[in-house]
């Protein structure tokens, strides 16, 4: 027990904390500039000087640890003089331009000067001038205002792990700069921006438009860009979002955001937003009233169901919509129209991966906490870069490395490059080969005694490739050996699975290998999720074989529950999945479709096929916020309200239920659930819903995993399902692994002049939605083709050249960008930009085991674009 006295108040603690923390505990305020929430103390600003008895000079409270019997004074005359002097020194070079500085009103230096500072400085010398940099698309750097507290540098290095900025020069000429000296060219997370105590690093998005006292309202909501579900605060003035700031107290992200969350909010005010419902009349989409659109849709659906039966109707749900929206869509399709044909873009990766892993280990196997990753001592990543797909989860992985843990990445290391010791960057298509070797070695070394005979049997059936094969796919034996050795030592490992494990074939085997590795290591599984509510979309039964709460359609008990609650019967049999719907539309068995917040034409490969399939439909209704590629084919288009305009709940990848709150009032669209409820009502649904809460109440009555969850109780970090629910589904016997006993094949290397194309997930963009965000487009405005420099050279192409990518299915134009992280013979293109998306130029087949997307036709030629 340590006892100290601060300003005559006695403080007792059993930990060695700093004087600053001790003072905070008893409510004594010591002014600081350079200490910041999660950062280590640096003691550079000297604002926190305190007097300690028997020490001749004042000491910095943020760095001095308390010792027993210490007597500290924070408010003596000498300390007041010291504070005054420190502020006078800080203001030698700091300009007094508060009236035009964006930070004024929430500037710590300003507050401290008002409280402790002198009225005027005594330095008559001129201020040193440092340049203001406007070169960056989203961040303004005014180094004249910088007080060199290095909070931004420490945030970038210690928390974000991007190492993009640093203090350059010396003495009073010091300033903070990125490597280029101009543009940051970093991850653009903007966390330096919220760390800056003065106006040195500010956002360009609301530059000069904003004063803290202009804010009329602020709401706490959830980011709508990826599956992490960071808590954000939206600040509004007159119905427009002025800015988005992180919340340091609430939320699982503890104040960290990524570029999409912080800057990508402005798409909601894009001028191309749909403003009124549209109906196709004489081949043209014309604006109509809400009543007309709803009645027309209901009439058409009713007519088609009467003519062809319920099985001719299908619905596509979306991971971008809330749980309530998705629930209402499945209610329309299943219970009002009588069809089990409902699926979503989760089919492309997340749903098959999660349900396969759940079949191996039981429901909820991937429900692990993101903040918990930081407590792990080793992370194994395969099939995707967490720092670009789920950036804030990626930060947690980096923090493992920061604490001395190990990080292993199979495939392109991307944003984790500086955190790994050895690259395991294998040739395209050799993932299973590498994983099999690692799993076999770990299994052997760990002397693992399995309790699961099914997995055990499969493990012993695996054929282990020899080292020669692995060397041929470009992996060094040293790296493999290191990985296997270190993995065995881990006490609390984490396994992260990305989309590439499934997208390019061998899906079931890759998932089995990773699942088994996790089982052998006794780790925690995470499956990356690129949309905010893909998991919720599944929980709401937007999947052909699964009802609300993740119950299989075949379970009769659930059907009764639904019947008792809503008086509606569950249709029999499993419905069609996303691909079967497209095929059905093509062959004519599907006649009508309702697409909510999804863009299948752009997001499912083989654009031409999907497009022609949707054109063959007798009736296509779309609700979306923009006139997307799919919406422009529709017969009826409903303008939906965007993420910042609606209430509801999101379920993130760790199955945390969080509340989305309405920030701006939407004059343009209505919430999807409202649109769907109106249609249901017109088709004879009995229930009526007044608000989101009434929809949620119904969900919590019906769904076993959400039972007992009250809408009002979802505050702060929300809660992880199941609450007080019924038991989850366990393991259901054997599962299939395709090609388990086969020796993984060596991939066929591409012929010269031809390159294998992969999908690239850009950090800046969240699939195709972010192309409507001016800020994000400012950072990354053109499609990039990432390619190995050696391959580029062999094709006669150089960096920053405009190239045409041609495949059997189509062409795309992109800017070539040499990237050493890409294996030779492989290029990557993102699926973001209009007309130039990756998925539009490849084909697909359906994985027989997983029923998931298997992208084919990836061999392309790359040529220099003709000069315009």
Partner 1 sequence: MPQVTTERLKILRGKIYELMELYPSYQAALLPSFFVAEEIFGFISPEAIGEISNVTGVPAAEIRGVASFYAMYKTKPMGRHIIQLCTNVSCMIEGAYDLVEYLKEKYGLTPGGTTPDGRFSLVIMECIGACGTAPAMILDTDSYENLTKDRLDTLLESYK
Partner 2 sequence: MNDMKIKDVVVMERKEDTGIGRFLKTVFFVEILQGMKLTLKTMFTKPVTRQYPKEKRPAMPGFRGLHALVRNPETQQAKCVGCGLCAAVCPSRCITIYTSEGEKHEKVVDRYEIEVLRCLYCALCVEACPFGAVVLTEHYEYAGYNKADFKMTKDKLLENWDKYMAGTKGEEYFKRFWGPRADDFKTPENQAVFKGRSQSKVDLHNAE
Query: Footprint of partner 1 on this chain (CB under 8 A)?
Result: 157, 163-170, 177-180, 418
Least separation in angstroms between residue 105's CB and partner 1 is 31
CA distances (Å), origin 803, targets 267, 500, 524, 824, 839: 28, 25, 42, 18, 17
Taking each helix axis as running N to C, give the angle between helix 431-446 and helix 477-489, from 0 to 180 degrees, rounded to the nearest 10. 40
Provide the binding-site residues for partner 2, judged by CB under 8 A.
98-100, 104-105, 119-120, 132, 134, 140, 207-209, 211, 213-214
Q: Which of 380, 419, 394 has the alpha carbon at shortest distance from 160?
A: 394
Between 169 and 800, name the residue whose CB sits nearer to partner 1: 169
**Scanning the structure block, which residue is given the tokens 């008990």?**
557
Rounded Cα gap, residues 324 and 528, in angstroms: 23
DSSP sequence for 685-725 = -----SSHHHHHHHHHHH-SSSTT--GGG--TT-EESPSS-
Between 163 and 299, name the residue whose CB sits nearer to partner 1: 163
Q: Which of 224, 263, 270 has the alpha carbon at shortest distance from 244?
A: 263
The answer to whether the beta carbons of residues 636 and 296 sit under 8 Å apart is yes
Between 163 and 214, name the residue whose CB sits nearer to partner 2: 214
Between 19 and 139, name the residue whose CB sits nearer to partner 1: 139
Sign, CA dihedral 318-321-325-327, equals positive
Least separation in angstroms between residue 570's CB and partner 2 is 53
Least separation in angstroms between residue 131's CB and partner 1 is 15
Between 103 and 151, name the residue whose CB sits nearer to partner 1: 151
Least separation in angstroms between residue 119's CB and partner 2 is 4
Least separation in angstroms between residue 179's CB and partner 1 is 4
Query: Which of partner 1, partner 2, none sits in contact with 54, Cβ below 5 to 8 A by type?
Result: none
**Scanning the structure block, which residue is given the tokens 């600053």?**
20
Query: Which of partner 2, partner 1, none sits in contact with 178, Cβ below 5 to 8 A by type?
Result: partner 1
Rounded Cα gap, residues 789 and 799, in angstroms: 8
Least separation in angstroms between residue 198's CB and partner 2 is 16
Least separation in angstroms between residue 816's CB and partner 1 is 18
Between 211 and 668, name the residue whose CB sits nearer to partner 2: 211
Q: Which of 868, 862, 766 has the alpha carbon at shortest distance from 818?
A: 862
Query: Which of partner 2, partner 1, none sits in contact with 169, Cβ below 5 to 8 A by type?
Result: partner 1
Query: Which of partner 1, partner 2, none sits in contact with 214, Cβ below 5 to 8 A by type?
Result: partner 2
Least separation in angstroms between residue 533's CB and partner 1 is 36
Query: Which of partner 1, partner 2, none sits in contact with 377, Cβ below 5 to 8 A by type?
Result: none
Least separation in angstroms between residue 215's CB and partner 2 is 11
Between 2 and 98, name the residue whose CB sits nearer to partner 2: 98
Query: Which of partner 2, partner 1, none sits in contact with 134, Cβ below 5 to 8 A by type?
Result: partner 2
DSSP sequence for 731-796 = --S----TTSSSPPPPPPPPPTTEEEEEEE--SS--TTGGGG-HHHHHHS-S-EEEE-HHHHHHTT
Query: Which of partner 1, partner 2, none sits in contact with 179, Cβ below 5 to 8 A by type?
Result: partner 1
Least separation in angstroms between residue 363's CB and partner 2 is 49
> Exposed, middle or buried: residue 183 (CB in 10 Å: 0-12, 13-18, 19+)?
middle
Rounded Cα gap, residues 852 and 806, in angstroms: 25
**171 token code pair:** 């003495």
Instruction: Name the DSSP letter for residue 727.
Output: P
Least separation in angstroms between residue 163's CB and partner 1 is 3
Between 97 and 272, name the residue whose CB sits nearer to partner 2: 97
Least separation in angstroms between residue 139's CB and partner 2 is 13
> Exposed, middle or buried: residue 69 (CB in 10 Å: 0-12, 13-18, 19+)?
exposed
Between 196 and 705, name the residue whose CB sits nearer to partner 1: 196
Query: Which of partner 1, partner 2, none sits in contact with 590, Cβ below 5 to 8 A by type?
Result: none
Between 129 and 418, name the residue whose CB sits nearer to partner 1: 418
CA distances (Å), origin 293, targets 594, 625, 628, 692: 13, 16, 18, 22
Between 76 and 209, name the residue whose CB sits nearer to partner 2: 209
Return the H-helix or E-strand segment holding 165.
strand 165-168
The answer to whether the beta carbons of residues 206 and 240 sit under 8 Å apart is no
Between 11 and 479, name the residue whose CB sits nearer to partner 1: 479
**Scanning the structure block, which residue is given the tokens 């058409």?**
300
Rounded Cα gap, residues 849 and 813, in angstroms: 34
Between 132 and 715, name the residue whose CB sits nearer to partner 2: 132
Q: Which of 126, 134, 131, 157 has the alpha carbon at shortest distance from 146?
A: 131
Query: Which of partner 1, partner 2, none sits in contact with 126, Cβ below 5 to 8 A by type?
Result: none
Rounded Cα gap, residues 335 and 566, in angstroms: 9
Between 177 and 531, name the residue whose CB sits nearer to partner 1: 177
Query: Which of partner 1, partner 2, none sits in contact with 746, Cβ below 5 to 8 A by type?
Result: none
The answer to whether the beta carbons of residues 699 and 330 sit under 8 Å apart is no
Query: Which of partner 1, partner 2, none sits in contact with 98, Cβ below 5 to 8 A by type?
Result: partner 2
Least separation in angstroms between residue 109's CB and partner 1 is 23
In degrees and rounded to multiples of 5, residue 315 shows phi and psi of -135, 140
Query: Which of partner 1, partner 2, none sits in contact with 177, Cβ below 5 to 8 A by type?
Result: partner 1
Query: Which of partner 2, partner 1, none sits in contact with 868, Cβ below 5 to 8 A by type?
Result: none
> Exposed, middle or buried: residue 369 (CB in 10 Å: 0-12, 13-18, 19+)?
middle
Q: Strands 754-760, 826-830: parallel, antiparallel or unpaired by DSSP? A: parallel
Query: Which of partner 1, partner 2, none sits in contact with 565, Cβ below 5 to 8 A by type?
Result: none
Least separation in angstroms between residue 820's CB and partner 1 is 8
């Amino acid at each position: 027990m340590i006892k100290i006295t601060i300003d005559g108040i006695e403080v007792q603690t059993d930990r060695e904390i700093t004087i600053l923390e001790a003072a905070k505990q008893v409510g004594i305020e010591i002014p600081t500039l350079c200490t910041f929430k999660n950062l280590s103390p640096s003691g550079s600003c000297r604002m926190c000087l305190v007097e300690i008895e028997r020490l001749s000079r004042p000491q910095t409270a943020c760095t001095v640890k308390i010792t027993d019997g210490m007597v500290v004074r924070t408010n003596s005359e000498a300390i007041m003089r010291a504070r005054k002097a420190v502020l006078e020194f800080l203001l030698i070079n700091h300009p007094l331009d508060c009236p035009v500085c964006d930070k004024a009103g929430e500037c710590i230096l300003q507050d401290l000067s008002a409280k402790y500072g002198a009225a005027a400085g005594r330095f008559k010398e001129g201020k040193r001038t440092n340049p203001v940099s406007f070169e960056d698309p989203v961040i303004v750097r005014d180094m004249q205002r910088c007080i060199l507290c290095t909070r931004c540098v420490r945030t970038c290095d210690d928390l974000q792990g991007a190492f993009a900025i640093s203090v350059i020069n010396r003495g009073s000429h010091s300033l903070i700069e990125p490597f280029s000296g101009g543009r940051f060219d970093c991850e653009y997370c903007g966390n330096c921006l919220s760390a800056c105590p003065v106006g040195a690093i500010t956002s360009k998005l609301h530059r000069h438009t904003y004063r803290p006292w202009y804010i009329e309202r602020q709401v706490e909501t959830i980011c709508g860009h990826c599956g992490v579900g960071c808590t954000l605060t939206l600040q509004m003035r007159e119905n427009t979002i002025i800015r988005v700031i992180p919340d340091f107290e609430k939320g699982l992200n503890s104040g960290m955001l990524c570029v999409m969350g912080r800057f990508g909010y402005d798409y909601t005010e894009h001028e191309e937003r749909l403003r009124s419902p549209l109906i196709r009349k004489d081949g043209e989409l014309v604006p109509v009233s809400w009543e007309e659109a709803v009645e027309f849709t209901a009439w058409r659906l009713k007519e088609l169901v009467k003519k062809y039966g319920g099985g001719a109707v299908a619905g596509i749900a979306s991971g971008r919509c809330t749980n309530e929206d998705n629930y209402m869509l499945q209610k329309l399709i299943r219970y009002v129209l009588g069809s089990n044909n409902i699926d979503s873009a989760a089919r492309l990766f997340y749903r098959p991966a999660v349900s396969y892993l759940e079949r191996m280990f039981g429901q909820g196997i991937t429900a692990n906490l993101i903040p918990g990753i930081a407590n792990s001592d080793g992370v194994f990543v395969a099939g995707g870069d967490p720092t670009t797909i789920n950036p804030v989860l990626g930060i947690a992985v980096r923090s493992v490395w920061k604490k001395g843990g190990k990080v292993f990445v199979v495939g392109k290391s991307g944003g984790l490059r500086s955190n790994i010791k050895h690259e395991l960057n294998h040739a395209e298509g050799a993932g299973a080969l590498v994983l099999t070797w690692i799993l076999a070695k770990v299994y052997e070394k760990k002397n693992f005694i399995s309790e699961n005979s099914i997995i055990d049997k499969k493990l012993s059936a695996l054929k282990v490739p020899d080292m020669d094969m692995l060397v041929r796919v470009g992996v060094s034996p040293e790296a493999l050996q290191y990985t296997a050795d270190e993995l065995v030592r881990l006490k609390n490992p984490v396994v992260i699975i990305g989309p590439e494990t499934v997208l390019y074939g061998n899906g079931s085997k890759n998932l089995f290998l990773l699942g088994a590795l996790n089982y052998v290591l006794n780790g925690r599984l995470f499956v990356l999720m690129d949309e905010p509510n893909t998991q919720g979309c599944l929980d709401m039964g937007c999947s052909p074989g699964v009802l609300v709460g993740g119950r299989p359609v075949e379970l009769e008990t659930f059907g009764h529950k639904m019947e008792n609650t809503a008086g509606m019967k569950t249709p029999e049999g499993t419905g069609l999945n996303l691909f079967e719907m497209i095929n059905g539309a093509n062959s004519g068995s599907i006649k009508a479709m309702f697409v909510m917040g999804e863009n299948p034409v752009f997001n499912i490969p083989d654009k031409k096929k999907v497009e022609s399939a949707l054109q063959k439909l007798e009736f296509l209704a779309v609700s979306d916020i923009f006139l997307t590629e799919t919406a422009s084919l529709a017969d009826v288009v409903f303008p939906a309200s965007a993420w910042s305009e609606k209430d509801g709940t999101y379920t993130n990848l760790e199955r945390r239920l969080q509340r989305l709150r309405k920030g701006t009032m939407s004059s343009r669209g209505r919430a999807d659930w409202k649109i769907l409820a109106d249609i249901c009502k017109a088709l004879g649904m009995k229930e009526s819903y007044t608000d989101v809460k009434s929809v949620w109440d119904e969900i919590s009555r019906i769904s076993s995993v959400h039972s007992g969850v009250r809408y009002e109780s979802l505050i702060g970090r929300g809660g992880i399902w199941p609450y007080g629910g019924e038991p989850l589904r366990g393991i259901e016997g054997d599962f299939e692994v395709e090609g388990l006993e086969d020796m993984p094949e060596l991939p066929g290397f591409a012929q010269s002049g031809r390159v294998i194309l992969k999908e690239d997930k850009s950090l800046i963009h969240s699939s195709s939605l972010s192309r409507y965000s001016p800020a994000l487009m400012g950072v990354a405005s053109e499609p990039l083709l990432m390619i190995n420099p050696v391959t580029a050279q062999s094709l006669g192409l150089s960096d920053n050249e405009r190239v045409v990518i041609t495949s059997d299915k189509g062409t795309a134009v992109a800017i070539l960008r040499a990237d050493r992280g890409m294996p030779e013979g492989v290029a990557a293109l993102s699926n973001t930009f209009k007309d130039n998306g990756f998925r539009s130029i490849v084909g697909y087949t359906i994985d027989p085991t997983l029923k998931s997307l298997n992208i084919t036709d990836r061999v392309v030629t790359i040529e220099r674009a003709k000069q315009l």
